[in-house]
Chain A
Amino acid sequence: MAATREIRDRLKALATGRLEGRSGRAYWRSLEELAAEPAFHDQLLDEFPSLEPVLGSRSRRDVLRIMGASLGLAGLAGCDFGPPQEKALPYVRAPEFEVPGDPEYYATAALLGGYALPVLAETHVGRPVKVEGNPEHPVSRGATDLFAQAAVLDLYDPDRSGATTRLAQISTFDAFQIDLIGRARELEGRRGSGLALLTGAVTSPTTLRLIERARERLPELRWFVHEPVGNARRHEAARLAFGRILDLHPRLDRAEVTLCLEADPLGPGPAQVPNARAWVDQRRAKMAHGELPKLYVLESTPSLTGAKASEALPAAPAEIHNATLALAQHLGIGGIEAPELPLHLRAKVLEIALALERSGEAALVMPGAHLDPQLQALVFRINQQLGGLNRTLVATLPVEARPEVGENSLPALAGAIRTGEVDTLLILDSNPVYTAPADLDIGDLLQTVPFRVHVGAYQDETAALCPWHVPLAHPFETWSDGRAVDGTASVIQPLVRPVRGGRSMHEVLATLAGEPQAEPYEMVRATWRRVLRGRDFEPAWRQVLHDGFAEGTAAETQSVEARPVEAPPPKKPGAIEAVVRPDPSVWDGRFATNAWLQELPKPFTKLTWDNVVAVSPAFAVEHRLDNGDLVDLSAGVRRVRAPVWILPGQAERTLTLHLGYGRGRFGGVGSDLGYDAYRLRTTDELWVIEGMIVQAADASMPLASTQEHHSMLGHHLVREIGIGELAAGRSVVPKEHHRPTLYPEWDYETYAWAMTIDLDACIGCNACVVACQAENNVPVVGKEEVLLGREMHWLRVDRYYSGEASQPHVHFQPIPCMHCEKAPCEMGCPVNATVHGPEGLNQMIYNRCVGTRTCASYCPYKVRRFNFHDYTADEPPTLVARRNPDLTVRARGVMEKCTYCVQRISAARIEAKKEGRRIRDGEVVTACQQVCPTRAIVFGDQSDPDSMVARAKASPRDYALLAELNLRPRTSYLAEVSERPAGDHRLEGEVREF
C-alpha cells in the first residue's frame, strides 16, 4: 500500500509538472523479483500466444491444458477475490457479515454492444456465480439473453488480458499513466490536436462525462466510434427521415400486423429481451380473444423472428429492397420508380399491403437496422402512411452517446490518420484491426500513428499493434454505468476485485483529463450527482444501487413526422449476394473465448465451435455442395475459404456469412475456429456483398452439429393447434386421464413438481441452455467430443423443420428431463443410483452411480448425459471459482441430467420450513424458467390446482411428448398455435434430410 501511495504522490507531481529525479526504485525491483518467478514465463506465454507454438490446437485436452497453464495468473495479476472495498448494497438483504452458503444478490448490469442489460448477480462468499435478469427493470423484467448469462464465465476467463504491457513486455499501469500523462501535457500545448479516441458504442454517462472533461483540457480531441454490429445505419436513416438522430423502438405489444424487412426483433441483440417479451404479451393477449397477431417476415436468411412468423418468405436482399419499394408504391407514396419483382413476391407484397392497411394504426413495418439508410427512411415513411408511426414504431432520443464526427466513423478515423492528423490514438474497448472493413487496411494505418494505446479485455489483434496495452476490467469488476436500450440508466456495481488485474476505462480517460488518481467509484458517483440531479443524493444513490437502475431515466419519446425522402432506385436481382450477420453465439467475435457460447448449438444449424457459409438447399444441389464442403468465396480481391452448411429457408441465391470467427490464435478456447467474414467486408458493402464468386475447393472439414436430423419423420413431437380450433374449445390432444397401467399409483403427498414449456412462445433464443449450464455446472467438452455426440447440455433445444425445404416452418422444442412418474431409467439401474423422490423428481445420485449407462439406454428422450471423460476435472482451475457451490460436480463415469434445479427447490423448502409454511407457488424458479424472455417455461407444484403449472397443464394446448409410452412425464408441452385451418397436418410434412 505504502508503495502505491508513494507512486500516487509522484504521479501528482508529474501531472503538475514538478518531477523529482528519483523514480520508485523499490517498485521496479519488486517487478524484477516478480519476473524471476517461473509463473512469469507462463504469463508471457499467455499474453503472447505467438510465443507458444502449442497454442491453437483445438483438441479438448490441449485447450484445457493451455487454459490450465494460466492458473498462476489469477493470483499473479495481483488481485484477490473478495468484495470490493467500496460499499455495494446486496439486493435482497443486507447482511452484516458473510453467511457462507448464503448467496448475495447485487444489482449490476451486463453489456452488449455498449448497451446495459440490468441483472442481479448471485455471489457466493464474494464469488460471482450466476446472473439473473432484474425483475424490476422495464427492459429485463427478470429475463436476460444468452450473452448476459455467459458474461459471468468471461469474468474467470484465463484468456483475458492480465497485465499492462509495453512493447510486449510486462509493465505496470502506473508506468503507463506516467507515459500518458507526459503525452497529455505535450498535447495540452497544442490544445489536443492530433489526439484521437476510438471507442465502441458508448452509453455510459461516466465515460461520456470523462470524455467531455478530457475535451475541456484538450479541445481539439477527436472522438471516433466503431461498433461492428451497431445502429449506425439506423441512425443515419433517422437523420434522413426526421432530420436528427433518433432511436426507433418497435412496439410489438401494440402491433397487430407486423412486417419485418430483414429485421430480426426477436433475434440476438441488446433489444432481444424487451422485444421478445412485448411480442409474446401481444400474442397471448390476442390469443385470449381467439385471434393471432400477423407477423410477416421477408428475410434473406432464417432469423428467430422468421421462425415465429405467420409467414416467412425467403428473398434475396435485392428482392427485399424492391419489395419495399413496391409496398411503398401500393401505399401511395410518390416518387418511386416501379421495381421489377418475381410474381409470387409481387402478389405477396399486395396481400401484405392490404393486411397492413386494414390494421392501420396497429400496423408496423420494421426495416433491418443494417439496410440502406434511404430504404429505412422510406420504411419510416410507410409507417407514417399506415398511421403506426409514434404508436407501433416509437422514436426516442438516442441512447448512445454520439460524437460529432458521426458514428461508424472508422473510415473518418482512417482518413484522419492517412492525412497525418492523428499522432496519438487511444483505442478504448474496441478491436478495429479485427473488425474493421477489409478495405481500410486499418492495421497498416495504425502503425503510422506514433503513440498508440489499446485498452481492451484481451491481447487481441489490435493490442498486438499497439505499444501500450492496458487490460480492461470486466463490468463485474469495476464501478461503471450504462444505459439499457430504452435509455434507463443503471449503475454497474463491481461484484469482485479484478480477477485478472484489469483497469477501468474511466481511469484511462481520467488520466487523460488530468486526474490520474481518480477512483472509478468516485468518478461514477460524480456522474450520478448529475444523473440524480434535484434529489437528495445519498439516499437516491443507495436506492439506485439497490434497484440497479434509476427510475425515469428512460430516453425521452419524441413525436416525429417522417418527411419525404428521395426513394432509392430499384436493384437488379440475380447475382449471388452474401449477407453478413453477427454470430448468434459469439456476436461480433467479442465472446470468442467464452466456452459456453462456443459450445452452444446455434439456433438453426445446431453447430458448435465453428461458423459456416449458409447456403440454400437449391444452391447446394446446383453446386453439388454438402455440409462441411469448403468453398472459396471471393469478392473482388478479397477471398476467404469457408465450409458451407445447407440451411432450409435460406434465400436461393444468397449466402450468409457469420462474423466473429477466424481469429487465428486467440487464447485457449477461441483459437483456430471458423473463418473470418470481416475479411470480405468493405466500407460500402458492410452487410450485403454483391457479386460474390463461389468456388468449391474439393475439400471438406468436420463440423460439430448436435442435431443431424431435421424432420420429425411423421412423429407428432411438436404439435400445433389452429387458433380456430382453440377458440372453439377443442384441445390439441384428447384430454384423457391417465391411461391404464399395471403399476400401482404412487401418491406424492407433499409436492408434485412439474413443468410446462410453451412451444408457441419459445423463440429458440438459447438463453435457457446457457442459464442451465451456468446454474448446474455443466461442463464444456470441446469440438471433438461434440463430434462424437457427447455434448453435456442438460437442457437442449431441438429444432425441427416441416413443410418445404425452400420455405420451411421451424419448430423449437426445449428438452429437459421429463421426470417420468413411471421412469424406465430408474427401473434399469442395478444399484439404485437413480430413483424417484417423494415429490416426483427423477433423482440422480451421482456418488452411487457406477456407470452402467442402462438408464440412458432406456431413456426414450435421451436427456441423460454421461461423463465419458473427466470433463469437470479437466476444466481450467480458474473456472473452479465460478462453479455453483450448491451442486456437486460430476466425476468421470457418472451419469447426470436435468434435476429441475433441485438445489433451488431445497433452498425454497428450507425457507418455507423456517417460516413453517408450504412452499408458495412461484417460489421455486428453475434457471431455464427464470431466464426465459417470453416466459415460455412454467414450473411448480401440479398437485395444487391453483398453481401456475397446474393451470398451464389444464390448457387445451397441453400435451405430453411420447405420451403413447405412458411414462407420465412431469414435463409437458403447450402446442404451437397456428392460423391454419383444422385438419391441415403440415407438421407431418417431410423435408429432405440434409
Chain B
Amino acid sequence: MPHRPDPYGLLARFENVEGLLAGVGAVRGAGYTRIDAFTPFPVEGLARAIGFEERRLPWIALIGGIVGGAGGFLLTYGLNAWDYPINVGGRPLNAWPAFAVPAFEMMVLFAALAVILGLLILNRLPRLNHPVFEVPDFRRATVDGFFLLIRSDDPLFRVERTGRALEKAGAVGIDEVPS
C-alpha cells in the first residue's frame, strides 16, 4: 500500500466529562504519554490525568509583586525623600505610611501583569493556527465536545493501533489530525 505521512495525531471525541476522563485513564494505561485533552470548560483533574503537573505561575506572580512593591516604594522614597527632599507641610521626608499606598498599587499591578504574561508565554499564545483546528468536528470543543488527542510523536503511536485503543476507551468519534 502507498505510504502516507504520519498525521499530527488522532483526535477522539467523548460524550461527556466522565467519558473523557475514563478514556484518558485507559489511554494512559495503555502507555500513551504524548496526549492532550480539549473541553468546553475547565475540568477538574483532567490536566493531572493526562500527566501534566506545573506550579510556575504563582511564583511568577509573586516575583512580579515583589518587584512592583519594592519598585513602588523605592520610587516614592527616592523621588520625595532622596532626589527632591523638600519640607512639605512639616511632614517627615520619608513618610513611609503614605508611600505604602502607591507601593501597594504598584505591587498589584506588576503581579497582575506578570501572571498574565506568564500565562500567555507558557501556553505559547497567541497562536492563531493549530493542526487540531483542521478537524471540522473540533469546533464542538468550545460547545459540548470533549476531545482526547494522541500526538503522532508518541513512541507507541500507530494510526490503526492507536485508533483501536481509542475506540476501546469509549470514543464516539475519531478523526485524523493532518499535520
Contact = CB atoms under 8 A, between A and B. Distances in A.
Interface of A: 743-744, 746, 820-827, 829, 832, 835-838, 968
B92 interface: yes
B84 interface: yes
A824 B92 CA distance: 13
Contact of A836 (B84, B87, B92): B87
A746 B88 CA distance: 10
B101 interface: no
Interface string B75-88: 00000000010111
Nearest to A858: B89
B118 to A, nearest CB: 33
B90 interface: yes
Contacts of B86: 832, 835-836
A827 B91 CA distance: 8
A746 B87 contact: yes
Contacts of A822: 89-91
Contact of A832 (B84, B90, B91, B92): B84
Interface in B55-110: 84, 86-92
B87 A743 contact: no
B80 to A, nearest CB: 9
Nearest to A741: B90
Contact of B91 (A743, A837, A838, A968): A743
- Going nearest first, the 7 A-B pairs with the smallest beta carbon separation are A826-B89, A836-B87, A827-B89, A822-B90, A823-B89, A826-B88, A821-B90
A825 B90 contact: no
28 contacts: A743-B90, A744-B90, A744-B92, A746-B87, A746-B90, A821-B90, A822-B89, A822-B90, A823-B89, A824-B89, A825-B89, A826-B88, A826-B89, A827-B89, A827-B91, A832-B84, A832-B86, A832-B88, A835-B86, A835-B88, A836-B86, A836-B87, A836-B88, A836-B89, A836-B90, A837-B87, A838-B87, A968-B90
Q: Give the secondary structure class of A's interface.
A: loop
Given A820-B89, A820-B90, A838-B87, 4 more contacts: A744-B90, A822-B91, A835-B86, A836-B86
A832 B92 CA distance: 15
A554 B91 CA distance: 58
Nearest to B91: A743
Nearest to A968: B90
A835 B87 contact: yes
A838 B87 CA distance: 8
Output the residue of B87, B91, B92 with the most chain A CB within 10 A. Answer: B87
Contacts of A838: 87
Contacts of A836: 86-90
A832 B85 CA distance: 11
A729 to B, nearest CB: 32
A768 to B, nearest CB: 27
Contacts of B91: 743, 822, 827
A827 B88 contact: yes
A819 to B, nearest CB: 11
Interface residues of B, number: 8
Nearest to B92: A744
Output the residue of B90, B91, B92 with the most chain A CB within 10 A. Answer: B90
A838 B85 CA distance: 12
A746 B87 CA distance: 8
Output the residue of B84, B88, B92 with the most chain A CB within 10 A. Answer: B88
A968 B90 CA distance: 10
A968 B87 CA distance: 15
A818 to B, nearest CB: 13
Contacts of A820: 89-90
B102 to A, nearest CB: 11
B86 to A, nearest CB: 5
A823 B90 CA distance: 7
A743 B91 CA distance: 6
Contacts of A746: 87, 90
Nearest to B80: A832
A151 B90 CA distance: 41
A835 B91 CA distance: 11
Contacts of B88: 826-827, 829, 832, 835-836
Contacts of A825: 89
Nearest to B88: A826
Contacts of B87: 746, 835-838
Contacts of A824: 89
Contacts of A832: 84, 86, 88
A836 B86 CA distance: 7
Nearest to B87: A836
A749 to B, nearest CB: 12
A4 B151 CA distance: 111
Contacts of B89: 820, 822-827, 836
A823 to B, nearest CB: 5
A837 B91 CA distance: 13
B75 to A, nearest CB: 15
A754 to B, nearest CB: 15
Contacts of A743: 90-92
Contacts of A968: 90
Nearest to B84: A832
A840 to B, nearest CB: 9
A848 B88 CA distance: 15
A114 B21 CA distance: 109
Contacts of A827: 88-89, 91
Nearest to B90: A822
Nearest to A842: B89
Contacts of A823: 89-90
A324 B86 CA distance: 65
A832 B91 CA distance: 13
A839 to B, nearest CB: 11
A124 to B, nearest CB: 32
A744 B92 CA distance: 6
Contacts of A837: 87
A832 B84 CA distance: 10
Contacts of B92: 743-744
A825 B86 CA distance: 15
B55 to A, nearest CB: 41
Contacts of A835: 86-88
A680 B92 CA distance: 65
Nearest to B86: A835
A822 B92 CA distance: 11
A825 B84 CA distance: 19
Nearest to B93: A744
Contacts of B84: 832
Interface in B130-171: none
Nearest to A836: B87
A836 B91 CA distance: 10
Nearest to A837: B87
A179 to B, nearest CB: 69
B130 to A, nearest CB: 49
B8 to A, nearest CB: 57
A823 B86 CA distance: 13
Output the residue of A820, A836, A968 with the most chain B CB within 10 A. Answer: A836
A511 to B, nearest CB: 65
A647 to B, nearest CB: 41
A829 B87 CA distance: 13
A496 B88 CA distance: 45
Nearest to A855: B89
B170 to A, nearest CB: 65
A822 B88 CA distance: 8
A827 B89 CA distance: 5
B60 to A, nearest CB: 33
A101 B128 CA distance: 71
B79 to A, nearest CB: 10
A931 B72 CA distance: 51
A737 to B, nearest CB: 16
Nearest to B98: A827
A117 to B, nearest CB: 42
A820 B91 CA distance: 12
Nearest to B79: A832
A827 B88 CA distance: 6
A478 to B, nearest CB: 51
